[in-house]
Structure 1
């Protein structure tokens, strides 16, 4: 049937209604995948909570009292927290499925060369994001111990379970996105918005911003944790600079520099879209 449709419509054009139906089907597949895999998070809820609460429990055992612990504020919050953990687990486990659905929806509108480039960015972004999230999960227990260490002896510190869970997710998301910095920089370079030479000249400003971000995310008085987190992000920045120089050299060799597209345009002439 697909072959017959392709013969009838060789250019692969779709009407607006067909686009909406295609979007509906792919959203439905994504939602079903998330709902099914959310049962995994629901079933292993206790194990997930044990991992999340481990840093707080370690501090409580070190202090030798029960004045440091996670708490629920009302009788409905345990159910809401378990539901949140289940849905987040489903979104995480189903990420290959719903990411592919997004990609498959956009795929027909791209040219063959654009498909290869976008697919490369897609497969590079996933391990970088997971690496950032993994680094965050590795350093988060130390962050919790440092923050709870400011609690005076004899004073209770009972953070809410929902707020603590949101903090964990925010921490992992922030570092996952930070590790996507080289992908964004290389993409901007490839479309001609940011040159490799400008990236090289801005390394001091970039280092300052990375240090500020790391200091905000890891309030460690010794600054070692801040440097440990800033170092890989700054290393990835230099990888992006090197990649940008290689791509520009390759484009110049082919005579396909994006900056050359706008060289002969007048100020009142629109720039080309491709």
Structure 2
């Protein structure tokens, strides 16, 4: 066989092999997208189920969320908020139920996230599934609880700011939207250690990097804390700023214990 024919045969074989590899890659990508679709669908089903359960207990949820409502405003509204439309009462109940369903279904959502990324992990890394879910739930619950405790401060500041010039008619939609955003902001902000640990696992950050950027990070945290919390009171940014600074330092220790030298070598 001539040398040219041999080269042509080799080229054709390589082209066919590359085409098969590309086809396998495309099939793998499609399978990943299908897997992602099912994980999202399962998460949405969990949120829907828990939202329905929360809607059944809507009166208890309303009573719980009305706990931080300032007494100065309660004397004006006689303990009840204003609705400005025929359907607003229903939409407010629906909003509260969906937010409650989202919070309660957090373990399911975290599990679906972990199950999606687990096939790409080493066998030794899969043992962190339960700590990942538990830590995520605990951190979110701690953040939302802190937000509930300090919620009274921004409410009092906002309601008293224009009290000399205006009569406040507090609608149920505005109040519960504010409360839902406030609690979600605190809960998600407390996921900082989980986010940094994940970034360390994939090699984007390491403990030395976090230590070297400590000053910049804390300044950024305190600036962000002023925008994360709605309202302009003094106390909420202080609470969340102190909490996030402590969580940042805790993240460094947590990454050192969980990731160890592996992350340090990945971003060296």
TM range (shorter): 0.7 to 0.9
- Separation in structure 1 between the aligned mates of residue 113 and residue 197 of structure 2, nearest angstrom: 22
Decide whether the 8 Å contact of 1:128 with 1:180 is kept in 2.
yes
- Separation in structure 2 between the aligned mates of residue 123 and residue 155 of structure 1, nearest angstrom: 46
Query: Which residue of 65, 73, 82 maps to 1:52?
Result: 65
- 1:99 CA drift (Å): 3.6
- Separation in structure 2 between the aligned mates of residue 87 and residue 93 of structure 1, nearest angstrom: 10
- 1:132 CA drift (Å): 0.8
- 1:57 CA drift (Å): 5.4
Structure 1 stretches lacking a partner, 5+ long: 1-13, 261-274
**In 2 relative to 1, CA 191–36 (structure 1 residues): closer, same or farther, beyond 3 Å?**
closer
- 1:82 CA drift (Å): 1.6
- Separation in structure 2 between the aligned mates of residue 26 and residue 197 of structure 1, nearest angstrom: 35
What's the CA shift string for 1:157-184, capped at 9, x where partnerless? Answer: 1233223222212111211121122222
Query: Which residue of 194, 197, 200 maps to 1:186?
Result: 197
Q: Normalization by structure 1: what TM-score?
A: 0.71
- 1:152 CA drift (Å): 2.4
Aligned residue number for residue 207 of structure 1 = 218
Aligned residue number for residue 176 of structure 1 = 187
- Separation in structure 2 between the aligned mates of residue 19 and residue 185 of structure 1, nearest angstrom: 24
Cα RMSD (Å) of the superposition?
A: 3.3
What's the CA shift string for 1:134-169, capped at 9, x where partnerless? Answer: 111111122201211112236211233223222212
**In 2 relative to 1, CA 85–120 (structure 1 residues): closer, same or farther, beyond 3 Å?**
same
Query: Which residue of 29, 45, 49 maps to 1:36?
Result: 49
Q: Normalization by structure 2: what TM-score?
A: 0.73
Please list, as runs of the form range in 1=range in 2, the aligned pairs for 1:12-23 lying within 5 A after superposition: none
Please list, as runs of the form range in 1=range in 2, the aligned pairs for 1:146-185 lying within 5 A after superposition: 146-153=157-164, 155-185=166-196
Aligned residue pairs, count: 240
- Compare CA radii of gyration and give the structure with the larger one: 2
Decide whether the 8 Å contact of 2:200 with 2:255 is kept in 1.
yes
Indicate whether 1:80 and 2:88 are aligned: no
Q: Which segment drifts farther, 17-26 or 81-90?
A: 17-26
- 1:88 CA drift (Å): 2.6
